[in-house]
Structure formats: C-alpha cells, structure tokens
Structure 1
Amino acid sequence: MLRKNGQTMVEMLVAVAIVVLVLVAVVSRVVAAVASANFARNQALSTRFSQEGLEWARSQRDSLGWAGFSPYVSSSPTYCVPDLTQGIGSLTSGSCLTTATIPGTIFLREVRFIYVAPGGQEPYTDIISTVSWRDRVGWHRSTLATRLTRWSTQ
C-alpha cells in the first residue's frame, strides 16, 4: 500500500509540474503578444508623427514664402519639433534632448533640412522627419522624407 501511495504522490507532482509548465508557456506568449502589440502601436504613431513633421516643414515654407523660409534652412540644420504650433523662427537648431518629447507621449521628433543650391538651377530643400522612442528593448525610429522646392514666387 505504501508503494501505491508513493506512486500516486509522484504522479501528482509530475501532473503539477506539467500544469505549471503549460501556464508559464501561456503567460510568456501573452506577454510577448502584448509587447508586439505595443510596438506595432508605437510604430504606427511614430509614422504619423513623422508625417506631421513633414507637413509642418511644408507649412513653414508656405507661410513664410521661399525667401523667408530659406534663411532658416540654408545651413542644413536639424530642429527638435515637439510642438507643431512653434514657427521655425522660434526654434534653435540641434538634436532633441530626451526630455523634449511630443506632449503627452514618449516620442521625440527631429526635422532635418538639407538645403541644396545647384549651380544654375532652382534651390531645393530635402526634409527628413525622424521620430524616435525608447522601450524596454531599446531605441526605435520612424523616418520619412520629402523634397520642398520654390514653387511660388513669394
């Protein structure tokens, strides 16, 4: 009889161990799925914020005209643009500090201007909008680019 009880105890321990392993596997899958969903959400948001950076640059060119816009971009600066209500004239060139996030988010937005004035041709400015964020894995970024030209005689 003792032998039978001992076997029952071992069987019970094996069954508990299997149940624990299954639970650990399920929990780890759930954690991985949540992390993946968070990354996808952050990637989508960062792409949207990067697009907003390009639109902000375009609106600065449109509101100032090319003559008013080009002095701010002719040195090919990078601006930290957490708040899209700021005009380019109120910004100081330089990369974002880690505390200069887009309000209410974890994202940093930098807009880089690359001014090109080829000989004998109209100048243009390449715009690179980069939004970055940090999570438990490390730093990530979303980058979009466009080219602005002097389309108006302003």
Structure 2
Amino acid sequence: MKINTQNSESGMSLLEVGVSVGVVVLVLIGLISAVTQATAAAQFARNKATATKYAQEAMEWLRGQRESSWTAFYDRANSTTYHMNCDLYVQTTWCNSGGGVIDDEFDIFDRQVTLTRSGITGVYNDDSVHIQVVVSWPQGSRTEDVILETDLTKWQ
C-alpha cells in the first residue's frame, strides 16, 4: 500500500489573495474617480445655468431701465462697472453693492454690469449703449464666468 504524501488541501495562496485585493482596490478607485468627476460636472452645469439666468435677468432689467427713461439710462453709460448683486425683481433703483456676491442659496455668484456709450460716427448714432454683463463664480481652483453682451438703442 502506497501513502500519498502530497498535501491535497485546496485553497488560495497568499499571492492569489494579494492579487485579488489589488484588483478590487483598483476597481473601487476607478468607481470613486468616476463618481467624483460626474459630481463636479453636474455642479459646473448647475452653476453655469444659474449664472446664465442671473446674466439674462440683468439684461432684462436694463431693458426696462432703458424703456422707463432713456436719458437717465444713457447718462449712466460712462464705462462704470456696477456690481449688481441684488434682487433685480424687487429693485426699483440702480444697485451697486461694490462687491460681494448675489444673495441666493449658493452665495457664490458675482454679477458685474458695464455700460459704455457706443456712439461711433457712421456705425451707431449717439443714442446707443453697449452692455456687458459678466457673472462669475469660483469652480474648484479656478474662476468661471458667463458673459452676455448687447447694444441697446433709443427706440422711442
């Protein structure tokens, strides 16, 4: 009778366990990275949409100011930058907060409006104002912005 001297126990060696753990760790790192990037992209999209809304809101408010009094509107077009970080829906006069951020749920947006007389002989008459609205916000380690520009003319 022969005696089998080989170890017949089956199982995983230490090397196999190490490789398995390494693969699991790499998969988890990949998943965490993908979720982090997706979250950052979603936050950027939300912030950009909000900034665009604030820029459009300022443009509409400025159109209303033009319609209520062209002379007063044109007199403000002296290349001054206004920090319009106020609620324009309830604002009846020009606000210039001198800095800060728009008071909203995020408290990160800065809205700047610059009005410039754009009366260039032969191109515009003297009754034209160039408007630039810039809404900026911090995004990670950089600053992002949305810029809207238009020219408003005396139409009445």
TM-score (structure 1 length as normaliser) = 0.82
Moved more, 18-27 or 115-124: 115-124
Normalized per residue, the structure richer in helix is 1
Alpha-carbon distance in structure 2 between the residues aligned to 1:133 and 1:36: 15
- Contact 1:127 1:147 (8 Å CA) reproduced: yes
Residue 5 of structure 1 and its aligned partner are, at CA, apart by 8.6
- Where in structure 2 are the equivalents of 1:24-103 lying within 5 Å? 24-63=29-68, 65-73=69-77, 75-83=78-86, 84=88, 85=91, 87-88=93-94, 90-91=95-96, 97=99, 100-103=100-103
Deviation at 1:68, TM superposition (A): 2.0
Gaps of 5+ in 1: none
What is the CA distance between 1:119 and its match in structure 2? Answer: 4.3
> Counterpart in 2 of 1:132?
136
CA offset digits 1:21-69 (Å, max 9, x no partner): 1001111110011001111111111111111111121111122x11122
1:47-92 deviations in Å (ceiling 9; x for gaps):
11111111121111122x111222111x22110001121522x537
Task: State the number of aligned residues.
Answer: 143
Superposition deviation, residue 130 in structure 1: 0.6
Contact 1:60/1:87 (8 A) holds in 2: no
Secondary structure of 2:79 counterpart: coil
Output the amino acid matched with 2:140.
R
If you compute each CA radius of gyration, which structure gives the higher value, 1 or 2? 2
Unaligned runs of 5+ in 2: 1-5
Q: Is 1:115 aligned with 2:134?
A: no
- Counterpart in 1 of 2:3? none
Distance 1:77 1:145 in 2: 15
User: Percent identity of the aligned residues?
Assistant: 34
- Corresponding letter in the other structure for 1:78: T
Distance 1:131 1:56 in 2: 15
Q: Which amino acid aligns with 2:145?
A: R
Relative to 1, partners in 2 of residues 1:86 and 1:108: Cα closer, same or farther, differing over 3 Å?
Answer: farther
Instruction: Quote the offset at 1:108 in angstroms.
Output: 0.4
Is the CA contact 1:122–1:150 (under 8 Å) kept in the aligned structure 2?
no
- Is the 2:85–2:96 contact (alpha carbons within 8 Å) kept by the matching residues of 1? no
Amino acid across the alignment from 1:124 = S
Shift of 1:7: 6.3
Q: Give every structure 1 segment of 4 or more consecutive aligned residues whose post-TM-superposition deviation is greater than 6 Å.
A: 4-7
Q: State the 1:6 CA deviation.
A: 9.9
TM-score, length of structure 2 as denominator length = 0.81
Name which structure has the greater RCO, CA cutoff 8 Å, separation 6+.
1
